[in-house]
Amino acid sequence: MLELTDETGRLLPVDELRRKTDERGVIHSQLTPAAPVAAARQAAEYFAGRRFDFDLPVQLEATGSSFQNTVWRQLSEIPYGQTRSYSDLARRIRPDDEQAGRTLARAVGHACGANPLPLIVPCHRVIGNDGRLTGFSSGIEIKEYLLNHEFAWLAESGHQGSEEA
């Protein structure tokens, strides 16, 4: 799901917006329509096969831990139609730690699960070491749909995605 924005027009996760509400759930900041409109337009372009990444004013730093933000930045680097394993992301986060692939993979998975904007910060592109689809906050069926959408465009266009960059 796409979220709303703060007064600067940046997309904010729902938890951040809740902090701007009173006890009745009424939001007391001036919300600008620009970011949600842009997000909806870009999502439509993505599903039409005309957009391969999102260019939106996303503010996640206030939402996650330092580690989660590091993982989310890594997720944003995975190209359209390509996948990475949880262990691969762990090794990218700690390249000097030979054990990172095993010890941090589970933490990477938890950070993916906490991703508040899963289409925009593409955690659906992270798979198990054996290539199986595992875990996704919106359900494995949605993860499979998103990956198949990207793979189908690559096949139709003649471009090749890969599991390793």
Domains and CATH numbers, the chain: 1-59 (no CATH), 66-157 (1.10.10.10)
Respond yes or no: is residue 123 known to be catalytic: yes
At 21, give phi and psi (nearest 5°).
-110, 160
Buried-state track 113-122, b at ≥16 Cβ within 10 A, e below 16:
ebbbbbbbbb
CB 125 within 8 A of CB 45: no
Nearest-angstrom CA–CA distance, 124 and 152: 15
122, 82 in Cβ contact below 8 A?
Answer: no
Q: What is the pLDDT of residue 17?
A: 44
The residue from 105, 120, 121, 123 that is catalytic is 123
Say what percent of the chain tops pLDDT 90. 38
- What does the pLDDT average to over 96-116? 86
Of the given ranges (51-65, 71-85, 96-110), which has the lowest mean pLDDT? 51-65
Summarize pLDDT for 117-165 with one digit per residue, the tens.
888 899 999 999 999 999 888 889 999 999 999 999 878 876 655 444 3
Contact 126, 112 (CB under 8 A): yes
- Looking at every residue in the chain, the average pLDDT score rounds to 78
